[in-house]
Chain A
Amino acid sequence: MSFELFLSAFQGVEAVLHNPGMFLARLGLIALGIFLIYLGKKGILEPLLMIPMGLGMAVINASVMMFDPLGLHGGLGTLFLEAQAGAGPDPVKNAADLMYIMGIDWLQPIYTFTFSNGLIACLVFMGIGSLLDVGFVMARPFLSIVIALFAELGTIVTLPIAQLFGYTTKQAAAISMVGGADGPMVLFTSLKLAPELFVPIAVVAYLYLGLAYGGYPYLIRLLIPSTKLRGTPMKADNKASQFSSGSKLAFAVVACVVLCFLFPVAAPLLFSLFFGIVIRESGIKQFQELLNGPVLYTATMFLGLTLGILCEANTIFDPKVLPLLLLGILALLLSGIGGIIGGYVAYLFTGGKVNPVLGIAGVSCVPTTAKVAQKVVQKENPQAIIMQYALGASVMGVITSAIIAGVFCSIIK
Chain B
Amino acid sequence: MDGLSISLTTAVITIIVSFLVAVIIKVMVMILDKFGSKIEAQVPVAVDSVKADDSDIAAVIAIANSNL
Binding site for B on A (CB under 8 A): 46-48, 128, 131, 133, 135, 137-138, 141-142, 144-145, 148-149, 152, 156-157, 159-160, 162-163, 169, 172-173, 238, 240-244, 246-247, 250-251, 254-255, 258-259, 262, 296, 300, 367-368, 370-371, 374, 385, 387-388, 391, 396, 399-400, 403-404, 407-408, 411-412
Contacts and interface: CB of A to CB of B under 8 A. Distances in A.
Contacts of B26: 141-142
B32 interface: yes
Given A407-B10, A411-B10, 10 more contacts: A145-B18, A157-B7, A250-B28, A254-B24, A254-B28, A300-B68, A374-B64, A396-B18, A403-B17, A404-B14
A357 to B, nearest CB: 14
B44 interface: no
Nearest to A259: B21
A163 B3 contact: yes
B17 A262 contact: yes
Which secondary structure dominates where chain B touches chain A? helix
Interface string B7-30: 101110111011101101110110
B60 A387 contact: yes
A247 B10 contact: no
A120 B28 CA distance: 32
Nearest to A410: B13
B58 to A, nearest CB: 10
A121 to B, nearest CB: 15
Given A241-B52, A407-B14, A142 B22 contact: yes
Interface of B: 1-4, 6-7, 9-11, 13-15, 17-19, 21-22, 24-26, 28-29, 32, 36, 40, 52-53, 55-56, 59-60, 63-64, 66-68
Among all A-B residue pairs, the 3 with the closest Cβ atoms: A160-B3, A241-B56, A241-B52
Given A244-B40, A247-B29, A47 B67 contact: yes
A396 B15 CA distance: 12
A246 B40 CA distance: 11
A186 to B, nearest CB: 16
Contact of A367 (B4, B9, B11, B63): B63
Contacts of B25: 137-138, 141, 251, 255
8 contacts: A131-B63, A152-B14, A241-B55, A244-B36, A247-B29, A371-B63, A387-B63, A407-B14
